[in-house]
Structure 1
Amino acid sequence: MTNNTNELPFNTVDSWAIWDTPTESLADKSDSEREKLFGASYQPESFPKNALSDDIVEQLKQVKYVLVGLNPGNAAVKQDPNTNFLNFHGAKKSMDYRLAAALYNTDMWGAFMTDLTPVIESDSTKVNPNQSDVDALEAHLDELNIPKDATIVALGGASYEALSAHAKRNVVTIPHYSGANGHWKAENTHAKILEITK
């Protein structure tokens, strides 16, 4: 790579909306069928670095969407802190593949991803982000030279509540992909992503 990712101020919750794609053709598949295929081929604790641009600095300057979760779940404890971009690419039980399938073949595929707080806690009711968390997030995005007109896409209601109240960038939301979200539907989430990116 032209720009060594280790020389950039990435942190352990930063990642990209890129996953290994199923070998089976996704053409003519429904949203739920595509989700099952992403689930079947999901590679835990793996990030496809070869899918990133050779020029990460330039890629950061071109970011249009920043997907922001609330915080890493408990599975993050086992992730290798010396390997970049494993957040949102962890154990299969985290169901990151649901998000991968929903984003696939949309303008959000390849977006920058991060969490609002670095607190490791699977019970989201115990995580209470505030304005200082939002300010720190936006300062981090600025430090990475992510454009001020990039849209923040909050993953779920808790992150949306804090971000929409305090962020300077435009904020929208899509449903959280966690298994704890009993309202998740592949079709609805994919449709919402298409609506935001049209």
Structure 2
Amino acid sequence: MTNNTKSLPFNTVDSWAIWNTPSESLANKSDAEREKLFGAYYQPETFPADALTGDIAEQLQQVKYVLVGLNPGNAAVKQDPNTNFLNFHGAKKSMDYRLAAALYNTDMWGAFMTDLTPVIESDSRKVNPSQEDVANLEKHLDELNIPATATIVAVGNASNKALAEYAKRNVVTIPHYSGANGHWNAEKVHAKILEITK
């Protein structure tokens, strides 16, 4: 990274939609095959900082999509608070690789990512985001100079409910990648992302 991220007001739930990519060629692979390869190659507790190059402050001003999850799961307790952007790049059991595979080679790859609340809790039923949480999120995006024209992509129904009701920015939604989501389908999610970004 050529820009000092310490001078920017990032928090522990901020990250970027960039993951280590499989060494095997992804050309001509189906969505499900690509997901398996990302899963096999997934490197837990690792953010590929060398893939985030250039002027970060400038990149923030060019952000078109902000992926917003509900909150960090319980595994976040073990993450190193001194390492930037580990959210969405945690333990393999979190299945972040599903999201990586779905976003790969789309306009959402490289998007800014964050969570609606910093509450660490794996049971989403115990997390109830408020209008204040949404206001705080958008204030944070403003402080990072992310444009008001950026589209918020709610990851899962729980975050979408509050964001769709209270956010000032445009909000769309994609399914959550968690293993608890039995409706996840690699092909359908990838198709939805392509539809949003066309």
In the superposition, the TM-score normalised over structure 2's length comes to 0.99
- The answer as to whether partners of 1:96 and 1:177 remain within 8 angstroms in 2 is yes
Q: Give the CA deviation at 1:2.
A: 3.7
Whole-Å separation in 2 of the counterparts to 1:84 and 1:54: 16
CA contact (8 A) 1:21 1:41 kept: yes
Structure 2 residue matching 1:99: 3-state secondary structure: helix
One-letter code aligned to 1:174: I
Superposed, which structure 2 residues align to 1:13-28 within 5 Å?
Answer: 13-28=13-28
Structure 1: tracts of 5 or more residues without a match: none
Q: Distance in 2 between matches of 1:51 and 1:5?
A: 14
Deviations 1:62-119 (A, max 9, x none): 1000000000000000000000000000000000000000000000000000000000
Unaligned 5+ segments in structure 2 are none
| 1:172 to 2:172 alignment | yes
Q: Report runs of 4+ in structure 1 exceeding 3 Å deviation.
A: none
* Inter-partner Cα distance in structure 2 for 1:185 and 1:33: 12
1:1-198 to 2 correspondences below 5 Å: 1-198=1-198
1:76/1:87 contact within 8 Å kept: yes
For the Cα contact (< 8 Å) 1:53–1:59, is it kept in 2?
Answer: no
Whether contact under 8 Å (1:151, 1:170) holds in the other structure is yes
The secondary structure found in structure 2 opposite 1:114 is strand
SS of residue in 2 equivalent to 1:66: strand
- Residues 61, 146 of structure 2: 8 Å contact kept: yes
- In 1, the alpha carbon distance for the partners of 2:138 and 2:113 equals 13
Between the aligned partners of 1:56 and 1:124, the Cα distance in structure 2 is 31
Structure 2 SS opposite 1:67: strand
| Paired AA for residue 179 in structure 2 | G
Letter in 2 for 1:150: A
- Counterpart contact for 2:116–2:133, Cα < 8 Å: yes
Deviation track 1:136-156 (CA, whole Å, cap 9, x = no partner) reads 000000000000000000000
AA at the equivalent of 1:74: N
Q: C-alpha separation between the residues in 2 aligned to 1:180 and 1:134?
A: 24
SS of aligned partner of 2:173: strand
SS state at 1:137 partner: helix
Matched residues, number: 198
Cα pair 2:2 2:53 within 8 Å, conserved:
no
Deviation at residue 6 of structure 1 after TM alignment:
1.1
Percent same amino acid at aligned positions?
84
Q: Say which SS state the counterpart of residue 153 (structure 2) adopts.
A: strand
Cα RMSD, aligned residues only: 0.5
Displacement after TM superposition at 1:54 (Å): 1.8
